[in-house]
């Protein structure tokens, strides 16, 4: 993978960092001159992944969340969100629309659906007891199109 | 997120401002629920024109208030969401459950 630019950061799983992560992503991707819609889509997808790490991954505990933001050739944005939390036993099931393990907390099971539809590519790797890594990519529309 | 509720003749408008995420939804939920339970409005309209960001936590916030309003014999509506917020609402199919104007 040819990487044109990259930022890595790590933060504790505090809910206040949901907006901090979005702000960092905005700051990083403005260099690729995204449309308002593209920026909003990417911010929303990142917010979902970070919130999942906090709400589910580190449920009842706390830990660190590692983010990698990359600018790839052809105006492609790459984002990786990793937690060292509880992990997901059945990733395929977890990714089904409306599947949630926390309905009593007003979760609706739509986070992965949002990531999937707002980004071009989504991959989720997880191991129970070890954590979860969400990788997403989105190609920004060519300038002038 | 800021919540500002005005009420007249059984119709209440809650103006929401800022960003809705898991972090900010908690206090908004508490403010809206205490208003609903104490005032029992016939209609509660969430004015979302001042919301600049919303993820799936906003879906939970809207659906939760929709259920509570229905339990109290009332109805929830969503008013004037910006385009980026409409895309999240559409993906969740909210417009089939809650009136969006
Ligand atoms: N980082 C994670 N660690 C552990 N479990 C996770 C993680 N991310 C997601 N999950 C599991 O996958 C399920 C589905 O996630 P998804 O984001 O789609 O929905 P949700 O978080 O439950 O609800 P919503 O995102 O709509 O508020 C979660 O309920 C949880 O069980
Ligand atoms: Mg989620």
Going from N- to C-terminal start, the domains of chain A cover 5-139
What confidence score (pLDDT) does residue A97 get? 97
Q: Is the CB of residue A85 less than 8 Å away from at least one CB of chain B?
A: no
The complex's ipTM?
0.96
Mean pLDDT on A72-92: 98
CATH number 3.30.565.10 given to A5-139: yes
What local confidence, expressed as pLDDT, does residue A59 receive?
98
Are the CB atoms for B5 and B14 separated by under 8 Å? Answer: yes
Which candidate in A17, A43, A52, A75 is catalytic? A52
- Secondary structure class of B99 (helix, strand, coil): strand
**Shortest-distance atom of ligand 1 to CA A134:** 1
In the prediction, which pLDDT does A20 show? 98
Residue A82 pairs in a beta bridge with A66, A133
State mean pLDDT over A91-116.
97
Q: Is the Cβ–Cβ distance between A124 and A88 less than 8 Å?
A: yes
pLDDT tier at A144, thresholds 50, 70, 90: low
User: Does the Cβ of A56 fall within 6 Å of ligand 1?
Assistant: yes
The answer to whether A15 contacts chain B (CB < 8 Å) is: yes
Mean pLDDT, to the nearest integer, of B48-60? 98
Nearest-Cα residue of chain B relative to residue A113? B91
Query: Which CATH superfamily, name and number, covers B2-100?
Result: STAS domain (3.30.750.24)
| Domain range annotation of chain B | 2-100
Q: What would the mean pLDDT of A69-84 be, rounded to a whole number?
A: 98
Q: Which helix (H) or strand (E) holds A66?
A: strand A64-72
């Amino acid at each position: 993978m040819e990487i044109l630019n990259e930022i890595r950061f790590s933060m504790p799983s505090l809910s206040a960092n949901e907006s901090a992560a979005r702000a960092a992503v905005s700051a990083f991707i403005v260099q690729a001159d995204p449309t308002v819609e593209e920026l909003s889509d990417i911010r929303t997808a990142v917010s979902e992944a970070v919130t999942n790490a906090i709400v589910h991954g580190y449920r009842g505990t706390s830990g660190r969340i590692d983010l990698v933001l990359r600018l790839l050739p052809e105006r492609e944005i790459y984002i990786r969100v990793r937690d060292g939390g509880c992990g997901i036993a059945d990733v395929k099931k977890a990714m089904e629309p409306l599947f949630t393990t926390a309905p009593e907390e007003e979760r609706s099971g739509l986070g992965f659906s949002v990531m999937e539809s707002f980004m071009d590519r989504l991959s989720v790797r997880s191991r129970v007891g070890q954590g979860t890594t969400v990788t997403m990519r989105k190609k920004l529309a060519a300038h002038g199109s | 997120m800021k919540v500002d509720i005005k009420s007249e003749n059984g119709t209440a408008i809650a103006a929401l401002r800022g960003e809705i995420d898991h972090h900010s939804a908690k206090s908004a939920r508490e403010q809206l629920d205490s208003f609903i339970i104490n005032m029992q409005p016939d209609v509660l309209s969430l004015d979302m024109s001042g919301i600049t960001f919303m993820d799936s936590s906003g879906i939970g916030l809207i659906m939760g208030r929709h259920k509570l309003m229905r339990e109290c014999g009332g109805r929830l509506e969503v008013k004037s969401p910006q385009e980026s917020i409409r895309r999240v609402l559409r993906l969740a199919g909210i417009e089939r459950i809650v009136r969006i104007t």
